[in-house]
Amino acid sequence: MYSLQITQNFGNTMLIIGTIGMLFMGVMLVMALVFHQKRILLFNKMAQEFEKEKQELLLNSSIKFQEEERQRLAADLHDDAGPLLATARLYLNENLIHQDTAIQLQSIMSARQIIDDTIQLIRNISHSLLPPTLKNFGLDAALVDMFDKINNTGTIKASARFHNNTERLEDNQELLVFRIVQEIVGNILKHSNAGFIHLTQNAQGNWVYYRIHHDGKGIVQKEFDELSKKAAGLGLKNIQSRINVLHGRIFFEMDNTQSYYKITLEIPRQY
């Protein structure tokens, strides 16, 4: 009887210990779940803040290069169109009516020529802001037109080839990509002393790829990253700003054969 009571007491004790252990494990599990939930909430909050900062950076980049475009436009109009119109005004001053007929005709013809030059200048500025080929026929046609014009100069061989281009990018994306390629090509023509420049395009999934090859002097990714942060690298900063707005990527590298450089743009169809 005594031994039976001892056995029952031991069983009760073990039951109590087991119950306490289960309760402890339950409490620990609840605490772990609460801690995990807090970590998830903290991570989500940090992700939201990071996304907000990212969007602010993209917006600031977009505003910055738009402001730079406006400044360039203002400088072109002030430095080029302004003096031309001021000169035309001199030819058409109020004393013209007191001059001989021959002088009047000469002044009018000179003023007309200057006005024609100003119209052409403004047309060129307008086309540089939004090329007619890009507006009317799309990015691929505008890039082909750009490379054809370069090739027709006879100073460098230029060509463009496109694949998988049945689906166009959005209008604002096409303009940004055109500006990026325009800036890159301009730098190559100015600084690389290249003998050829070639553009290819292809698409895979949600990404469109533009790759520019040239055999002149070039830079690799490390140099681009360094130069795009310097004040003197305004053109490269514009490239990086536009890439950021597009949520795209850009890579500068030398081909494995060490015979030419290539610049690759990776652009998502939606951003």
**Does 250 score more than 80 pLDDT?**
yes
Q: Are residues 185 and 62 in the same domain?
A: no
Q: Are residues 163 and 57 in the same domain?
A: no
Q: Which CATH number characterizes residue 237's domain?
A: 3.30.565.10
pLDDT at 67: 61
Q: Are residues 92 and 19 in the same domain?
A: yes
What is d(CA 225, CA 252) in angstroms, rounded to the nearest whole number? 10
When mean pLDDT is compared across 57-61, 224-228, 265-269, the lowest value belongs to: 57-61
pLDDT at 136: 80
pLDDT at 234: 65
Task: Answer with the one of 104, 125, 146 that is the final residue of a domain.
Answer: 125
Q: Are residues 153 and 120 in the same domain?
A: no
What's the average model confidence in pLDDT over 100-112? 86
Q: Are residues 84 and 31 in the same domain?
A: yes
Q: Are residues 219 and 158 in the same domain?
A: yes
pTM, entire model: 0.60
What's the average model confidence in pLDDT over 168-174? 85
**Does 74 score more than 60 pLDDT?**
yes
What is d(CA 13, CA 192) in angstroms, rounded to the nearest whole number? 87
**Does 63 score more than 60 pLDDT?**
no
Domain count, the chain: 2
Q: Are residues 136 and 222 in the same domain?
A: yes
Q: Are residues 121 and 13 in the same domain?
A: yes
Q: Are residues 228 and 147 in the same domain?
A: yes
Q: Are residues 264 and 194 in the same domain?
A: yes
pLDDT at 35: 78
When mean pLDDT is compared across 8-17, 106-115, 188-197, the lowest value belongs to: 8-17
Q: Which domain holds residue 30?
A: 2-125
Task: Answer with the one of 125, 151, 177 that is the final residue of a domain.
Answer: 125
Higher pLDDT, 231 or 27: 27
Q: How confident is the model at residue 261 (pLDDT cuts 50, 70, 90)?
A: very high
Q: Are residues 79 and 56 in the same domain?
A: yes
pLDDT at 11: 62
Q: Are residues 170 and 194 in the same domain?
A: yes
CB 249 within 8 A of CB 210: no
Task: Answer with the one of 125, 142, 167 that is the final residue of a domain.
Answer: 125
**Does 248 score more than 60 pLDDT?**
yes
